[in-house]
Amino acid sequence: MTPGAAGFAGRSAGRDPWVLLICCARVFLFANFMVLAATLPVLMPAWGIGAARAGSIITSFTLAYALSLFATSWLADHFGAKRVALASAWATAAAALAFGFGARDYLSAFILYGLAGLMQGGTYTPVVMLFAERFAPQQRGKAVGWLIGSTSVGYAGSLGIAGLGLSLGGWQTAFALSGLLPAAGAALLTAVLWRQANTIHARAGALNLRRVMAASADARRLIAGYTAHSWELLGMWAWVPAFVAANLAQGGWAIAGASGLAAYIGAASHIAGAGASLSMGTASDIHGRRKVLLLVAAACALLSFSIGWMVGATPILVVPLVLAYAFLAIGDSAVLSTALTETVDPAWLGSVLAVRSLLGFGAGAAAPLAFGAVLDAVGGSGPLAWGLAFASLGIAGALAAWFAFRLSDGTRRG
């Protein structure tokens, strides 16, 4: 148990104003996260760019975000999680403003969206460390579930803000609205954390990161499982809207209407993801981390291997399956994070999270490209192409289940 956690061992995370306010702050901080994905159909003709260049803007954000997670996790070990989280929040707000009012063509968007990703990482892993400091293990899964759930709500909110901006004044308005809101999140996070102590955990002099990792097989398995989980999750997020649009189009919908409805279903899938993070985090407190990780990863892999073959099925069947898929794909995220906080010495948690973030989001950045390569290689938009493309995600899901199965008895209880 980390220092100070004992005082919160009996407190429900869902009734702790500290948790709720931090979650609200993160919803605002993620307001620009999905704005580019939501506006791409409008930006491509407006800027005269093709799909590859459009996708490269998102790739610049994702890779910069991975580097940011790595750097801010390492910095949190050395300068304290609170200090890094607050600095990152205000940097995120500044970068969001720069993108919202400065991105007006491909090159400016590529640079400024990448800058936004580079500032964002400290609003995630250092905050996980703050939650680990505050909550004892019997409450930590639920607490981290609230944290990860707020990310999903932030994604859904970002899509909603972008849609509102598009309807009010086009992509420029969408950019501006999403650029303004992160400042409110930074202000709220500052108000919540301002009087909180900035903890820097002492390290044993004989240890280094290599020895810390070598000493814990479970830490290595959790990082490997997270990497596989990230491949499946980010690949799913990137391609499910197009899959739903293809399903609706095969059912007779016009492509414009199908794309619009698919975007709303995408937002709904992130809301489902928020429920998954909270419920699975809570379940892991009751039934154990290992059991929940294994069941969720196996069920998600099963859907990855099967859903693509249903592209021609009725949307009445496909849409609920997509929502279930979204629920399961992120359902193990909070549990993976919680288990790692319980496996690693707090003095080294930031450095271990840095390694995990680089590997996980590196895999997550590659997954959409691999998925698209399978679609192009098979050709067409029928069940074979979609089935094999989603199977490329299912392989990673099966690996995540295997690494969960290999966890030791120490992770079986929450």
CATH of the domain at 166: 1.20.1250.20
Mean pLDDT of 243-247: 82
Q: Is residue 368 part of a domain?
A: yes
Whether 408 is covered by a domain: the verdict is yes
The answer on 410 and 281 residing in a single domain is yes
Classify the C-alpha dihedral 312-313-316-319 as positive or negative: negative
Task: Compute the average pLDDT of residues 330-334.
Answer: 89
Average pLDDT (381-399) is 94
Quick one: pLDDT at residue 327?
92
Q: Among 4-8, 122-126, 141-145, 187-191, where is mean pLDDT lowest? A: 4-8
Q: Is 392 domain-assigned?
A: yes
pLDDT tier, 212 (very low <50, low <70, confident <90, very high otherwise) = confident
b/e per residue 320-338 (b: at least 16 CB within 10 A): eebbbbbbbbbbbbbbbbb
Q: What's the pLDDT at 351?
A: 81
Of the ranges 166-180, 298-312, 353-367, the best mean pLDDT one:
298-312
Nearest by Cα to 407 from 304, 299, 295: 295
* Mean pLDDT to the nearest integer, 129-133: 88
Q: Based on the domain organization, do 214 and 117 belong to the same domain?
A: no
The whole-number pLDDT of residue 263 equals: 65
Read off the pLDDT band of 7 (50, 70, 90).
very low
pLDDT for 237 equals: 82
- 90 and 178 share a domain? yes
* Together in a domain, 170 and 219: no
Which residue, among 132, 134, 130, 144, has the nearest Cα to 8 in the 3D structure? 134
Is 246 contained in some domain?
yes
Same-domain status, 100 and 120: yes
Residue 391, pLDDT above cutoff 80: yes
The pLDDT of residue 248 is above 80? yes
**Highest mean pLDDT, choosing among 88-102, 156-170, 372-386:** 88-102
Decide if 164 is inside a domain: yes
Same domain, 395 and 310: yes
- Whether 202 maps to a domain, the answer reads no
Does position 114 have pLDDT exceeding 80, yes or no?
yes
Mean pLDDT in residue range 330-350: 85
Phi and psi, residue 199, nearest 5° = -95, 130
Q: Which range has the worst mean pLDDT, 71-85, 230-244, 390-404?
A: 230-244
What pLDDT is stored for residue 142 in this prediction? 84
Residues 192 and 218 in one domain: no
- For the segment 371-397, the average pLDDT, to the nearest whole number, is 90
Residue pair 234/365 in contact by the 8 Å Cβ criterion: yes
Q: Say how many CA atoms lie within 13 Å of 359 toward its Cβ.
A: 16
For residues 229 and 396, is the Cβ–Cβ distance under 8 A?
yes
Q: Assess whether 73 and 171 both reside in one domain.
A: yes
Report whether pLDDT(1) > 50. no
Is residue 201 a contact partner of residue 376, using CB atoms and an 8 Å limit? no
Lowest average pLDDT, out of 23-27, 152-156, 287-291, 350-354, goes to: 350-354
Q: Which of residues 197, 231, 246 is at a domain's end?
A: 197
Q: Which residue has the higher pLDDT, 229 or 240?
A: 229
Q: How confident is the model at residue 285 (pLDDT cuts 50, 70, 90)?
A: confident
Same-domain check for residues 75 and 216: no
Q: What is the band of 99 on the pLDDT scale with cuts at 50, 70, 90?
A: very high
Which range of residues forms the domain containing residue 126? 13-197
pLDDT digits (tens, 9 = 90+) for 153-184: 998 888 888 888 887 888 899 999 999 999 99
Which of 167, 197, 227 is a domain's end point?
Answer: 197
pTM: 0.78
For 355, the token pair is 């390694």
Does 106 score more than 70 pLDDT? yes
pLDDT digits (tens, 9 = 90+) for 34-60: 888 778 778 878 899 876 677 788 878
- Both 231 and 167 in one domain: the answer is no
On whether both 158 and 271 belong to a single domain, the answer is no
Give me the count of residues in the chain.
414
Q: With respect to residue 232, please indicate whether it lies within any of the assigned structural domains.
A: yes
Average pLDDT of 287-294?
Answer: 91
Question: What value does the mean pLDDT of the chain take?
Answer: 85
Do residue 86 and residue 177 come from a single domain?
yes
Please tell me the total count of domains within the chain: 2
Q: How many CB atoms lie within 10 A of CB 284?
A: 30
Given a cut of 60, is residue 215 above it in pLDDT? Answer: yes
Task: State the pLDDT at residue 207.
Answer: 57
Q: Is residue 396 part of a domain?
A: yes
pLDDT greater at residue 382 or residue 94: 94
pLDDT at 414: 44
Helical H segments across 80-121, by residue range:
81-102, 106-120
- % the chain with pLDDT above 90: 41
Q: What is the pLDDT of residue 160?
A: 82
Nearest to 8 by CA among 138, 129, 128: 138
Whole-number Å distance between alpha carbons of 397 and 304: 8
Query: Domain boundary residue among 171, 197, 223?
Result: 197
pLDDT: which is higher, 372 or 126: 126
In order of 18, 45, 60, 408, the CA distances from 113 in angstroms are: 30, 19, 7, 41
**Which ranges of 48-80 would DSSP assign to H, the alpha helix?**
51-79
